Chains A and B, each alone.
Chain A
């Protein structure tokens, strides 16, 4: 099949970008979307042009590197699918597509379709963990965990940190991403001791980055390639509210060493 692509080209973070039109005459339905771009890039290089920069690595939908907008939808039209797993059989001959980077103030464009998502790392660093040093914890089976809790925790932990939720949100909110981590740990007994502190710190960091607030559009859930649910945001809000009302830091509680 033959496609027309309009692709956002931007040389660097400080230079303005623009849409450039490309004709791709040799698309095979079994190619992945990124393989289709590979073929285009190989041709551009041979013509002496600059290939299109996009982020990718595992190409199995798990590393979270890839992602851009296809006709205004993060990762394109196929539900529950990252763009590396999107195959061309979902398009038809003659289609015209618009490819743009994820747009959010907290995700500055680095080049073409590639963005800077380091804000996500900083949010995790602000408490998205259980504070346990490497050592000799108790036997793994000494604390039974309800299967349902483990399964729900796993549902939330499946987040790949791609940023599609932010790109889809009219507020560029990262609440689905943050709430997925808060749910993953908060649903397990190991996550309880730091549950309040985690909610307060991660959300404070979220505010320091340039993400917007959640106003329950639900666009994030609709585009999430891993089907992370909105219920996580409800759980996060619950944790945050409870922590905001009851949390005392260590010194004022008198328990610090």
Chain B
């Protein structure tokens, strides 16, 4: 068996594809919409926006999240902003330019039609959010303010101080609560999806655990949406929330959904460095800081002087030196690798030597402390709270960390996975960012998928199927629930010597070392040996206290880590077979003389789509060839 990877891209010129698709979609009559049930898992920007918008249309929606409230989803932590091709600054922006920047930023590994649609609907997102009361930053004249972000030479990023994700999520959350009040959406907080139910080849439901009582329940619907975010926590240390996990999409993968480009994982260049082995997560310092901060390390290897003792002539502003056109706003993958390189050379700063300076002294001198405080006050405070150092006086120390995953479940133009009726939105899918996501584009994609794509494509799907027809007693539902019960019993019965976190840390270290910013065949082969060993020990020696019939945070974690232990191997396998460098995927064997990513468009201009083949069997690699009719493939140049 192999996947049908027809992306269902509409015919015609790029600019008209989405309009054509919308006209060709079948519609569900308004009075019939309430006969259809839709499950939406995850309530971040993509899931919250989708559940609210589908509820507004009149469908019956059940929404699920593992947190105590839908407002907690990790979209809330996004700091810097959201891109949109409004061209309010009159600086040469356009839909075409946002499209091109995104394709190029992704190193030509994303689908043209999807990205173009994303750029088109980006302008609607800003209108929608302003109408909801999102308090974006404004100029004195009352118009919306913009800032710049990496990988772009125009100012197209809209923001709400350093809390843009929070404000956009609260907009979606409020729209969702309005539908809950109206009775179109039923909300299940503190419920975690533990399996997907597929009946007659269609996604028809999920098994969830009530995280307070421990009770397992089956929910049935006519279609299922997964908007459950990325899998960056496979590295253990990442900027993701502690609860972010891969379980929903991994369960779907094992039920027949293709997993695309798992090795495309983004390492964000500006995070607060690791301070000790108790470290539980890493904190991002927004990329927007690079608008006014200059990144440097000492010119000399092993220079241990404090930053104020190092004169200007003995500093290396390496991004400005290497990429003069974009300078400190070079894209994330390039900036991260450059930081790794200078630290590998022994020029890193801080006690660990894994850090570089992000210095605001020049802009504070030029603009005054007040202006910097206005722009980044909350980020500076956060830095000081965590490190105990004042970034107005001494430069910040930063280092790259796992932040976002471009890979995810494969979806077609309708955002449908390889399982009919299973739609995947936001970071959980693979669709728009290719091999590297540009800053401020995750919020854009999450909201585009949730507000402006799924309401149309879901209607087209439902118009072609009859509502209802199965219930919770269907053998597939009974079997799925029983599998989850048995798995829970096994976890609780192992009673080994090591904690769940011990295994998660061990896995994270292997994936970070061998499949992080730099990857090579030898290291990847080593990781492919190590991960199954860790997994084997995990199933023999993990310890989960307590029972299944209560709130049990260790039980929640153990299931997630079990899935990370499988996903981690797929991630490494994907990195091993993609014998080229592109975007965030940097295979050390394939680089230009200047050390930049060297793509191989002859052999790897495709999306790798992995197909589950059964326990202990090698997954099958399927390929969706990428064709570029509107942009010319070239080596990315930010010099």
Contacts and interface: CB of A to CB of B under 8 A. Distances in A.
A129 interface: yes
Interface in B274-326: 275-276, 278-281, 283-284
Given A38-B280, A134-B52, A137-B131, A125 B138 contact: no
B131 A130 contact: yes
Contacts of A92: none
A133 B56 contact: yes
Contacts of B136: 140, 150
A203 to B, nearest CB: 15
A154 interface: yes
B94 to A, nearest CB: 16
B127 A161 contact: no
Contact of B130 (A121, A137, A146): A137
A59 B138 contact: no
Contacts of A61: 382, 385
A173 interface: no
B499 A45 contact: yes
B260 interface: no
B382 A59 contact: no
Interface in A134-150: 134-141, 143-147, 150
Contact of B554 (A39, A45, A143): A45
Interface stretch (B176-184, B405-413, B471-479, B606-614): B176-184
Contacts of B23: none
Interface in B414-467: 451-452, 455
Interface in B542-582: 543, 545-546, 550-551, 553-554
A131 interface: yes
Contacts of A256: none
B69 to A, nearest CB: 5
A35 B282 CA distance: 12
Contacts of A111: 550-551
A38 B53 CA distance: 39
B280 A57 contact: no
> Interface centre among B135, B189, B280, by most A CB within 10 Å?
B135
B143 A141 contact: yes
A117 interface: yes
A124 B174 contact: yes
A140 B130 contact: yes
B332 interface: no
A126 interface: yes
A134 B382 contact: no
B175 A129 contact: yes
A124 B242 contact: no
B174 A130 contact: yes
Given A59-B281, A141-B88, A64 B127 contact: no
Interface centre among A85, A121, A185 (most CB of B within 10 A): A121
Interface in B176-211: 177-178, 180-181, 187, 189
A150 B284 CA distance: 26
Interface stretch (B14-22, B162-170, B589-597): B162-170
B30 interface: no
Nearest to B70: A121
Given A85-B382, A125-B181, A137-B131, A59 B241 contact: yes
A214 interface: no
A226 to B, nearest CB: 9
Interface stretch (B71-79, B99-107, B148-156, B523-531): B71-79
A181 to B, nearest CB: 8
B442 to A, nearest CB: 15
Nearest to B179: A125
Interface footprint category on A: 35 or more
A136 B124 contact: yes
Interface in B352-381: 381
B174 A65 contact: no
Contacts of B279: 35
Interface in B61-92: 67-72, 74, 76-77, 86, 88
A114 B551 CA distance: 10
B217 interface: no
Contact of A130 (B77, B133, B497): B133
Contacts of B129: 140
Nearest to A152: B135
Interface in A87-141: 87, 89, 110-111, 114, 116-118, 120-121, 124-141
B132 A190 contact: yes
Contacts of B388: 30, 87, 89
Contacts of A140: 86, 126-127, 129-130, 136, 144
A190 B551 contact: no
B235 interface: no
A60 interface: yes
Nearest to A30: B275
B626 to A, nearest CB: 31
A153 interface: yes
B173 interface: yes
A50 interface: yes
Contacts of B72: 57-58, 63-65
A138 B143 CA distance: 14
Q: Which of A35, A127, A150, A160 has the most CB of B within 10 A?
A: A150
A133 to B, nearest CB: 5
Given A35-B279, A131-B178, A117 B127 contact: no
Contacts of A63: 67, 72, 74, 76-77, 241
A58 B551 contact: no
Given A110-B212, A161-B69, A128 B174 contact: yes
Contact of B385 (A51, A87, A141): A87
B128 A137 contact: yes
A49 B554 CA distance: 12
A30 B241 contact: no
A39 to B, nearest CB: 6
A36 B276 CA distance: 12
A158 interface: yes
Contact of B69 (A34, A121, A158): A121
B420 to A, nearest CB: 25
Nearest to A81: B385
A171 interface: no
Contacts of B501: 38, 42
A28 interface: yes
A152 to B, nearest CB: 9
A118 B136 CA distance: 28
A46 B544 CA distance: 10
B163 A158 contact: yes
A58 B77 contact: yes
Nearest to B500: A45
A186 B499 CA distance: 49
Interface of A: 11-12, 28, 30-32, 34-36, 38-39, 42, 45-46, 48-51, 53, 55-65, 78, 80-81, 85-87, 89, 110-111, 114, 116-118, 120-121, 124-141, 143-147, 150-151, 153-154, 157-158, 160-161, 184-185, 188, 190-191
Which 3 pairs between the two chains have the least Cβ-Cβ distance? A144-B142, A129-B174, A137-B131
Given A38-B280, A58-B242, 9 more contacts: A51-B554, A59-B283, A87-B385, A121-B180, A124-B177, A147-B140, A154-B161, A157-B167, A188-B135
